[in-house]
Amino acid sequence: MSIISSMTSSSKILSLVKRESFFDDSFFKDSWEDFDKAVQGILDKFDDTGLKVDTGSRSKCRDVYSRIRSSKIDEDLYASQALQITEKDGKFQAVMDVKDFNPSDLQVKVVDDRVVVEGKYEKKSEDGSSMSSKSFYKEFTMPPSADIDQVATALSKDGVLTVKAPKREGDVAARPAGALTSSSSTSSSSFSSSSHQSSSSSSTISSTKKVSMSSSSSSSFSSSALGMESLDDMAKDMKDRLVFSHENVNLKLPQ
């Protein structure tokens, strides 16, 4: 009985606060820089003109990013998505572009020590005869010092989602370096993926793809380790704790 109990997950759906446009709403001010970095990452990956995001070029850069996103999203749901994760002083923050996903299907929930973001992306064919649907799924493991009970989310009118978790009150910061790792960490880095595809005579095709990455035991998030790690190492550690999956469904619409 105790084994069964320990495997049971607790889940809570979070209220998604609707706000004004991302860069026009001061509520998001502490996330502006993070989103600029996220957009810069996509530009560096797909644009060869050397554009750099700053206050003056922000509008132009977002336009270029939007064109890249539109052209790449059908190839890979995640590769062209602006996403930035930061952890500082025990606090967690994620900002991501979810403009292409149906807001009515967008859901954020807490499952144990993780935050799960789910949604749906739908697109009609050019001739309007069929529709493509992909499910959106991202999972974040919170750092041990983050207060999972105080996770808050907000969605801007132009489709930028923020997820924040403050530092837990009374948390003891002084812990040995290397003592804190994500709940999915193992003694060595691991990478696993699985895919499934099936079709039927009704012209319905579905496929699922899941990729999970776990950080190695050397990845730590204690206050003493944060002072030693480079920003690149921190970014890699945080990206290693993401789980991506999506499902594609093509439906033949009635004539």
The reported pTM is 0.67
pLDDT lower than 50: segments of the chain: 1-7, 173-230, 240, 244-250
Backbone conformation region of residue 90, classed left if phi is above 0, alpha if psi is from -120 to 50, else beta: left
Question: Among 2.60.40.790, 3.40.50.261, 3.30.1050.10, 2.70.70.10, what is the CATH number of 10-252?
Answer: 2.60.40.790
Dist. CA 194–CA 72, nearest whole Å: 22
pLDDT at 128: 78
pLDDT at 171: 60
pLDDT at 253: 54
Name the residue ranges covered by the structural domains of the chain: 10-252
Please check whether residue 44 is in contact with residue 58, taking contact to mean a CB–CB distance below 8 angstroms: no
The residue ranges of DSSP E strands in 22-113, in sequence order, are: 83-88, 91-97, 107-111
Q: What is the pLDDT of residues 187-206, one digit of tens each?
A: 222 222 222 222 233 333 33
Torsion sign (Cα): 138, 50, 70, 59: positive
pLDDT at 43: 98
pLDDT at 169: 82
Q: What are phi and psi of 37, to 5 degrees?
A: -65, -40
Dist. CA 98–CA 161, nearest whole Å: 6
Please check whether residue 181 is in contact with residue 221, taking contact to mean a CB–CB distance below 8 angstroms: yes
Dist. CA 132–CA 167, nearest whole Å: 40
pLDDT at 9: 65
